[in-house]
């Protein structure tokens, strides 16, 4: 029970700093045991503007029958895909919301991929 409370508190602290606006929407990261996903959200309107998921990459890879990559590489590719979709919608700057997760490993790789794709935060 204590762990869940600390996770909620940590997420709340991060969310207070990363409030998304129309000019700078929030890039929110969700990490489960199997997949990583991210979306860009305009909190003032409550609308998701762009999203990308590790599941999309895995589905695309199985159709192509190519070699599997490790999760860190896939997280970077998710960030690049998200940045590509965001720039297509005219979004260049975001606020990074890592949620209750540390800025380490998969979350950092996703951020690096998004920066490589052209997003600034």
- CATH number for the domain harbouring residue 6: 3.30.420.100
Closest CA to 110 of 60, 84, 72: 72
Residue-number span of the structural domain to which 85 is assigned: 2-116
Is 36 within a domain? yes
Average pLDDT of every residue of the chain: 87
pLDDT for res 20: 65
In this predicted structure, what is the pLDDT of residue 11? 74
Calpha distance 66→90 (Å, rounded): 32
So what's the pLDDT on residue 103? 92
Tokens 């199997």 locate to 34
Whether 68 shows a pLDDT value over 60: the answer reads no
The mean pLDDT value for 88-101 works out to: 91
Q: Look up the pTM and report it.
A: 0.81
pLDDT of residue 3: 63
Rounded to 10°, the helix 54-64/71-88 angle is 110
**121 within a domain of the structure (yes/no):** no
Classify residue 42: in a domain, yes or no. Answer: yes
Residue range 3-59, pLDDT digits in tens: 668 877 777 777 776 666 778 899 999 999 999 999 999 988 989 999 999 999 888
Q: How many domains does the chain have?
A: 1
E strand or H helix at 17: helix 2-17
């Amino acid at each position: 029970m204590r762990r869940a409370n600390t996770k909620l508190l940590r997420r709340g602290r991060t969310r207070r700093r990363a409030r998304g606006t129309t000019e700078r929407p929030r890039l929110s990261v969700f990490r489960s045991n199997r997949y990583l996903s991210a979306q860009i959200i305009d909190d003032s309107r409550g609308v998701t503007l762009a999203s990308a998921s590790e599941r999309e990459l895995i589905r695309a890879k199985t159709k192509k029958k190519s070699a599997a990559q490790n999760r860190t590489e896939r997280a970077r590719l998710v960030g690049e895909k998200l940045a590509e979709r965001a720039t297509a919608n005219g979004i260049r700057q975001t606020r990074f919301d890592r949620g209750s997760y540390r800025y380490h490993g998969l979350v950092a790789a996703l951020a690096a991929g998004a920066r490589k794709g052209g997003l600034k935060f």
